[in-house]
Amino acid sequence: MRIYTNFDLTDYNSYRVKAHCDKAYFPENEEDVVSFFKTNRDFILLGSGHNIIFSKEHYQKPMVIFNGNYNAINLIDEGLLEVEAGAMMWDVAKFALNNALSGLEIFWDIPSSLGGAVVMNAGASGEEIKDVLVKVRYLDLSDHTVKEILKEDISFEYRNSFFQKNTDKIVLKAWLQLQKGNKESISEKMETIKAQRWAKQPKEFPNGGSVFKRPPGYYVGAIMDELGLKGFTIGGAKISEKHGGFIINFNKATGQDILAIITEVKRQVWEKYQIDLEVEQRVI
């Protein structure tokens, strides 16, 4: 276990909002994870930092971070990957490519750890992590025992799961079943997906991805167009002119800048459409 005091969190959130915490823990194996949670009951769990908004500049609660640690990826059977919670999904997709395995191409450019992907059922273009998931190993904080759960019992929904609804269950690792494929075809699909995303999304600025869940029958980007909110700015944050579903940090934005934009967007959308936009990102 690596432990740091007065830890700078700026590089551990994709908005690149400046923040720090009194103490940060980086588990390196399952034993580290179990021992941390047995001795710490009040904490903040942070994955890759790509789907979160820091609302404060200073956190007194200890943070346990899965980012560049606890990230082993192993091929244990034909097409079956065993992946630890801290592994980045683009690294898992690359590992699959190197082994000529198909099923994770969509994750080549999705910024998420394996743990985060499972919790929120990450995906795009109609494909989701649940499509390849077999089972998950997790730590149950209610009794501090390690358990396993099959995909069929995780209650996956659009950007939701058993783990999102039960925050006392900590994902440790998961098994993914992939299919044998052609390396060239897999690589071509990965690069096509990446090019399409870069063409549409504001990758040139720090951002946390899509801010709001898509309401039934609507697209958030189209709503932002109709309301004239592209480019709407508060402090150093603004709604991207490239894609209205994203908020970008273009000039030293704070978490409060981002949250103020979200509040105003929700107000205007409710006023015009009577839609209560649901925030997809986790506010810490």
Q: CA 39 → CA 33, 42, 83, 137, distances in Å?
A: 10, 9, 25, 20
Of 112, 113, 210, 240, catalytic: 210
- Please, are residues 203 and 212 in contact by the beta-carbon 8 Å criterion? no
Please indicate whether residue 125 is annotated as part of the active site: no
Residue 181: CB atoms within 10 A of its CB come to: 18
Determine the Cα angle at 20 with ends 18 and 21, to 5°. Answer: 155
Of 159, 187, 204, 214, catalytic: 159
- Please, are residues 43 and 141 in contact by the beta-carbon 8 Å criterion? no
- Please, are residues 282 and 53 in contact by the beta-carbon 8 Å criterion? yes
Strand partners, 2: 26
38-77 burial, b at 16+ Cβ within 10 Å, e below that, comes to: eeeeeebbbbbbbbbbbeeeebeebbbbbbebbbebeeee
Of 28, 82, 127, 280, catalytic: 280
Please indicate whether residue 280 is annotated as part of the active site: yes
255-280 burial, b at 16+ Cβ within 10 Å, e below that, comes to: bbbbbebbeebbebbeeeeebebeeb
* Alpha helical stretches, state H, the chain: 30-39, 89-98, 114-120, 162-165, 183-200, 220-227, 255-273
Picking from 20, 176, 11, 13, the residue whose alpha carbon sits closest to that of residue 105 is: 176
Please indicate whether residue 159 is annotated as part of the active site: yes
* Rounded Cα distance, 87 and 58, in Å: 27
**Structure letter (DSSP) for residue 7:** E
Residues designated as active site: 159, 210, 280
